[in-house]
A and B are shown apart, each in its own frame.
Chain A
């Protein structure tokens, strides 16, 4: 039985194509590991200025605020440009550990930042923002969810974030404290993809940050969680030691704590760091 040559070529290509195609990470950069985190040698100077290019790795929940800040900062500082890699904080930690070229890292929880501190990859972190958890449901709240306890009701499709993703860990902590057992149907890699599943109608509810609910606008309805039940959510930021632009990295961190970036954060609904 003969296979036509065309078929052989097509089938060989078909075998190789899936090998090439089946990769894809949700965040933008996956780079080959560099040999150790070589410090640039120069110490930071005073009057840190925003010049040159920066790569900032930031938790997904910071997307709207940091993007808004970019316009302000680049307008005020000609010659400065910043690229962002947004994702689940744990995924970003893994990338930095593998040598990804980050200059600044902003995490959604201290646990993830601590991994890099312990590994000696970042300078001393500072808290620059706080947040609250909020339940996100479809526009109109068709399933009439009024609080965390409703998430355990049968017939509600709830999704959460994966283990190691700060929003997921915070949520599981709160649910455990309150003794509510929720069986999520999926564990998403970051808050944005969790919100997307709710806006597309696949999930009835998820728990993300209040800032994510605000960012989604009219596509979702937020069901607040009482302050008494809220965990302490603090966002730390730090300069990555292997940065090639330490002055701008430090300036970025300073701006996040009390500058243009902090203003953008508060405009997005983040709480100030005290």
Chain B
């Protein structure tokens, strides 16, 4: 079921015109924007997600299971539903959006920051899930040893904990980044569609297929497929081999 569509994509692709298609201005703009927004989404996810994962792993509090479920929700929520939810929260009339707009005049909808938010929304669960598992399962004795040697909590976190969970964080980050790169439903619903600002690669692929520009759409699809495969190959030891 997975192999057939993917091989059909590879077979039908316009290999001879690939470099030309990818160099079209719209394609190049969309690729640059996608890189910018997916990395931005990764940064937001890491900044918010790693501390959250640490709290979920190390602290007991009432409702912890509910918080964990909430964090994982974007993983299973249909992306367009996520987009609608983001609109109601951060749109111009949204619960938080109107406050943001009143205080700063800043808008997320129709802005690159909106695209970053939409992508972070779907990418963060990947980071939090892998980070929390890593925080839970790491050997706490190294932290305790550092504490007995006089290291403060900040130092311990930076020099002992983070390096210990770094491989897991990298894996979660790679997955989250790939997910952010491919995000479509929430982006087009919440952030809008304009070249250079919010028209990320998946949006351009959709619009090109819709308007009959198959060449560019297929070329971009192949590129994203190659990136996805690269991520999976890079992570194969984590999923298939021994950790």
Contact = CB atoms under 8 A, between A and B. Distances in A.
Contacts of A90: 210-212
A115 B212 contact: yes
Contacts of B167: 1
A15 B175 contact: yes
A111 B232 CA distance: 44
26 contacts: A2-B243, A3-B137, A3-B238, A7-B133, A11-B126, A14-B75, A14-B126, A15-B232, A17-B76, A18-B122, A23-B184, A24-B80, A24-B184, A91-B210, A94-B209, A94-B212, A162-B193, A162-B211, A186-B193, A186-B198, A189-B193, A200-B87, A200-B91, A201-B91, A202-B192, A203-B110
A177 to B, nearest CB: 23
A22 B211 contact: no
Interface of B: 2, 75-76, 78-80, 87, 91-93, 107, 109-110, 122, 125-126, 129-130, 133-134, 137-138, 164, 167-168, 175, 179, 182-185, 192-194, 197-198, 202, 206-207, 209-212, 228, 232, 238-239, 243
Interface in A1-26: 1-4, 7-8, 10-12, 14-19, 21-25
A93 interface: yes
Given A162-B193, A186-B193, A200-B93, A18 B207 contact: no
A159 B133 CA distance: 44
Given A1-B168, A15-B232, A186-B194, A162 B207 contact: yes
A64 to B, nearest CB: 23
Given A1-B243, A8-B239, A15-B232, A202 B109 contact: yes
A205 to B, nearest CB: 13
A153 interface: no
A87 to B, nearest CB: 8
Contacts of A243: none
B192 A159 contact: yes
Contacts of B109: 202
Interface in A58-112: 88, 90-91, 93-94, 97
Interface of A: 1-4, 7-8, 10-12, 14-19, 21-25, 88, 90-91, 93-94, 97, 115, 157, 159, 162-164, 184-189, 197, 200-203
A197 B92 CA distance: 11
B192 A186 contact: yes
Contacts of A185: 110, 192, 194, 197
A209 B133 CA distance: 54
Contacts of A21: 78-79, 185
A25 B188 CA distance: 11
A202 B110 contact: yes
B137 A2 contact: yes
Given A22-B182, A202-B87, A11 B175 contact: yes
Contacts of A202: 87, 91-92, 109-110, 192
A3 B239 CA distance: 9
A187 B130 CA distance: 37
A160 to B, nearest CB: 10
Nearest to B6: A19
Contacts of B134: 1
Contacts of A18: 79, 122, 179, 182
Contacts of A1: 134, 137-138, 164, 167-168, 243
A93 B212 contact: yes
B118 to A, nearest CB: 12
A94 B210 contact: yes
Contact of A184 (B194, B206, B207): B194
Given A19-B228, A23-B184, A186-B110, 15 more contacts: A4-B133, A7-B130, A19-B2, A22-B185, A22-B202, A25-B210, A88-B210, A90-B211, A93-B212, A186-B193, A200-B91, A200-B93, A201-B91, A202-B109, A202-B192
